Amino acid sequence: MSSKSLPNAPRDHELDYGLEAAIDQAIAACGGDMRSTIRALIVANEYLESEVCELMKAVSQAYAHGRFQTYSG
């Protein structure tokens, strides 16, 4: 199902604008230095990846200890 078929979904140009605005904000936050911007984004991505990994471990341990009940619909 494409986003264009959903009644309140943002249009492609709205998504592009939001992405462009985020890019501009990231560059501005790094004083216009592209290399610093890329470095900051890589560091942020690595941090988020480590957070996901820690959450996956916590969920796995909780599931193994029976703290989660499966949902069958």
Local confidence band at 10 (pLDDT 50, 70, 90 cut-offs): low
In a domain, 57, yes or no: yes
In a domain, 60, yes or no: yes
In a domain, 13, yes or no: no
| pLDDT value of position 1 | 44
The answer to whether the CB of 29 falls within 8 A of the CB of 43 is no
Number of structural domains found in the chain: 1
Average pLDDT in the 30-46 region? 98
In a domain, 55, yes or no: yes
Instruction: Give the residue with greater pLDDT, 8 vs 49.
Output: 49
Other C-beta atoms lying within 10 Å of the C-beta of residue 57: 10
The answer on pLDDT for 20 being more than 60 is yes
In a domain, 20, yes or no: no
| pLDDT value of position 37 | 98
What range does the domain containing 58 cover? 34-65
| pLDDT value of position 7 | 62
| pLDDT value of position 6 | 58
In a domain, 6, yes or no: no
